[in-house]
Amino acid sequence: MKLSRFASIALLSSFALAAITFSPRAEEKKSAAELEKEKALQNPYPNDYGPDSIDVSGYPKNHQEGYKLLRARCAQCHSAARPLNSRFVEPDVAKDKKEAAVAELKKSQPDLFKDAGVWQVEGSIWERYVKRMMAKPGCKIEKAEGKKIWEFLVYDGKRKIGANAAKWKAHRQKLVDELKTKKPERFKELESQKDL
């Protein structure tokens, strides 16, 4: 049977409609995750110039697990270097004692609060950032995994303060200088946003 002109146009347009209805949805989803990754890579941080792994052989077992998870999950959009070389420090004490611990650090190690490109010490900064990353489109981190990663990041703050503060400062300063030399525009942008 030959289709009438009207029927074939109707048939064609229903195919076209189906194509319009179905394909962009899949693409939209894909591009939301991809866009997030692009955004993460196009806007580098000093952190990204540091190593993407550290030696955790001396860390407690649960934190070694958190580290492993970080290396797998937090490298989906940027490299693991971004969290591992971050200036963020969250005191490693119970939640209700964090603010007091920050106040105590202000007295005992005032230098930690004088150079925002090297340290940013806050009571719940890692909790906030892990949650922020988990809320990004396309992020595949389970709640329990996020908690372990957060706990590792809090423990790992020991690498940046106390007896390790001077070594950490030299490390961070080098990374900030590298960004300044390689991407001066981005450096200025982060500096003006107080997000170095």
User: Which of residues 45 and 102 has its CB atom nearest to ligand HEC in the complex?
Assistant: 45
Contact by Cβ (8 Å): 125, 149: no
User: Which of residues 15 and 156 has its CB atom nearest to ligand HEC in the complex?
Assistant: 156
Reduced to 3 states, what is the DSSP secondary structure of residue 89?
strand
Q: Considering CB under 6 A, how many residues would be counted as binding ligand HEC? A: 24
Give the binding range for ligand HEC (CB under 6 A) out of 13-21, 77-85, 156-164, 165-173: 77-85
Helix H or strand E segment including 177 = helix 165-182
Residues paired with residue 121 on neighbouring β-strands, in sequence order: 89
154: CB partners within 8 A, 6+ apart: 90, 91, 92, 126
Say whether residue 167 binds ligand HEC (CB under 6 A).
Answer: no
66: CB partners within 8 A, 6+ apart: 148, 149, 150, 151, 152, 153, 155
What is the rounded radius of gyration, in angstroms, for the C-alpha atoms of the chain?
A: 23
Q: How far are the Cα atoms of 31, 60, 84, 86, 139 from residue 149, in angstroms, in the given order?
A: 26, 13, 11, 14, 14
Binding ligand HEC (rule: CB under 6 A), the pick from 44, 50, 66, 83 is 83
Other Cβ atoms less than 10 A from the Cβ of 106: the count is: 12
Say whether residue 130 binds ligand HEC (CB under 6 A).
Answer: yes
State the minimum distance, in angstroms, from the CB of residue 87 to ligand HEC.
7
User: Which of residues 74 and 102 has its CB atom nearest to ligand HEC in the complex?
Assistant: 74
Give the binding range for ligand HEC (CB under 6 A) out of 57-65, 72-80, 106-114, 163-171: 72-80
State the minimum distance, in angstroms, from the CB of residue 11 to ligand HEC.
41
Say whether residue 90 binds ligand HEC (CB under 6 A).
Answer: no
Give the binding range for ligand HEC (CB under 6 A) out of 59-67, 101-109, 130-138, 181-189: 130-138
Helix H or strand E segment including 120 = strand 120-121
Residues in the site for ligand HEC, rule: CB under 6 A?
Answer: 36-37, 39-40, 43, 45, 73-74, 76-78, 82-83, 86, 129-130, 132-133, 136, 138-139, 141, 149, 195
